[in-house]
Amino acid sequence: MAVLGVLVRIERSDRESIVSRLGDVDGANLVSLEEDGRVGLLIEADTMDEARRILASNVDAADGVLATWPVFAHYEDEMNERAHETPSDSLAKSAQPK
């Protein structure tokens, strides 16, 4: 799972319409900011390449978007998730009823 946090600068005059369009982007969740000309966006995808594609194709190219700045990126390979577990994590999982 890849997560990309993006600061998006938008046209102030058309804020509602732009926010609505960005909210319709698959894999993207809006984060409200107090400044009129900016919104936050969390993009979730299976890979970082897919998250970047969503950013470039659906956000950067959207009417009314002036600029984007990725400010956070995280990628976790779910297949290797167990490699990062602590012994207490493993014990807690094994103690859960099935």
- The DSSP output letter for 13 is G
66: left (phi over 0), alpha (psi -120 to 50) or beta: alpha
Whole-prediction pTM value? 0.74
**pLDDT recorded at residue 76:** 87
Residues 40-94: tens digit of each pLDDT: 999 999 999 999 999 999 999 999 999 999 999 999 876 665 555 555 554 455 4
Which residue, among 66, 23, 73, 68, has the nearest Cα to 50 in the 3D structure? 73
In this structure, the chain runs to a length of 98
Task: Please count the structural domains in the chain.
Answer: 1
Here the CATH number for the domain that contains residue 7 is 3.30.70.920
> What DSSP assignment string belongs to 22-90?
HHTSTTEEEE--SSTTEEEEEEEESSHHHHHHHIIIIIITSTTEEEEEEEEEEE--GGGGGGG--HHHH
Q: How many Å apart are CA 83 and CA 88, to the nearest integer?
A: 13
Q: Pull the structure tokens for residue 96.
A: 């859960």
Q: Which domain holds residue 49?
A: 2-95
